[in-house]
Amino acid sequence: MAQTVEAVYENGVIRPARPLNLPERTRLRVTITPLPERIISLRGLWKSAGELRDGDLEAARRLWDREVEEQLQTLKGASE
């Protein structure tokens, strides 16, 4: 059964981000697809939060919408 997992390459070894349910020494075929530099995270979405004044909910909504749209465009570009 095929699985898609994220992994990190460091010191010459590909390490899955989560444990794999496979017997030891299972031979695999690996396709390498680099992830985009920017991924969606709450920290990334609020990187410009310093622009907000206390209680400025509408400005927060606009900022959120702008940042989410930017993240979605990044992801769309990476999948094409």
Write out pLDDT tens, residues 10-65. Answer: 999 999 999 998 999 999 999 998 877 655 555 555 555 555 556 667 777 787 88
- Helix H or strand E segment including 13: strand 13-16
pLDDT grade for 73, boundaries at 50, 70 and 90: confident
Residue range 54-79: mean pLDDT, rounded:
77
The whole-model pTM stands at 0.42
Distance of CA 7 to the CA centre of its chain: 12
Residue 27 C-alpha from the chain's centroid: 27
Please enumerate in sequence order all residues whose Cβ is within 8 A of that of 55, keeping only pairs 6 or more positions apart, or say none.
none
Give which of 3, 52, 11 is closest to 30, Cα–Cα.
3
